[in-house]
Amino acid sequence: MKLTRNQDVEAPVAFVFAALCDFDHWERAAMRRGAEVTRLDTLAVPGPGMIWNVGFDFRGRRRIVDLRLVTLQPAQTLAFAGQGTSMNGTVLLDLVEMGPKRTRIAFTVEVEARTLAARLLLQSLKFASARVNRKFETRTAQLAADIEGRFRRGDKR
């Protein structure tokens, strides 16, 4: 299953990239939503090789995913690879400077099943693709609004 979406943000590309690379902020945000997040690497500076163990509830079951940062190209690309017991996935965030204070984020999320049960889960999500796409659009718009708000307030990231 593949989801794609472009979202424009009213902030410079460097600010948007810095906000997306504020991994402590995203860890806290996930924990506020009920996820258990544990950082497994010992890197002092953000970069490829960062890895987190993330546990969350989805469709009545506890899911555990190892999420790894595989690509970090400043002001251009962030790519993550996730591996769970029954699914693998990738998240790609491409940044395009549209103007001095406008940035477009291209989101691409791909998930593939490794087990029969996971295939059935993905199939049910495909049947509800309109709802899944709507939720994806809402979440990306919320992310853009959060970054824009941080930029307007003058936050460093």
pLDDT, averaged per 10 consecutive residues of the chain (157 residues), comes to 94 94 91 92 89 89 92 94 93 95 96 91 87 93 94 77
Longest dimension (CA), the chain: 48
Q: Which domains does the chain have, with CATH numbers?
A: 2-153 (3.30.530.20)
* Number of Cβ within a 10 Å radius of residue 5: 15
Determine the pLDDT at residue 32. Answer: 92
By CB atoms closer than 10 A (0-12, 13-18, 19+), residue 67 is: buried
Alpha carbons 76 and 130: distance in angstroms, whole number: 29
Strands, sheet with 77-84, edge to edge from the N-terminal-most edge strand:
2-9, 102-113, 87-99, 77-84, 61-73, 51-58, 36-39
Assess contact for 62 and 45: CB atoms under 8 A: no
Tokens representing residue 68 in the block: 């790894």
Look at residue 157 in the predicted model and tell me its pLDDT.
Answer: 54
Beta bridge partners of residue 87, listed in sequence order: 113
Checking 130-136 for CB contacts under 8 A at 24+ apart, the result is 132/3, 133/3, 136/3, 136/5, 136/107, 136/109
Q: Which of 23, 5, 13, 1 is nearest to 135 (CA)?
A: 5
Residue 125: partners with Cβ closer than 8 Å, 6 or more residues away: 1, 132
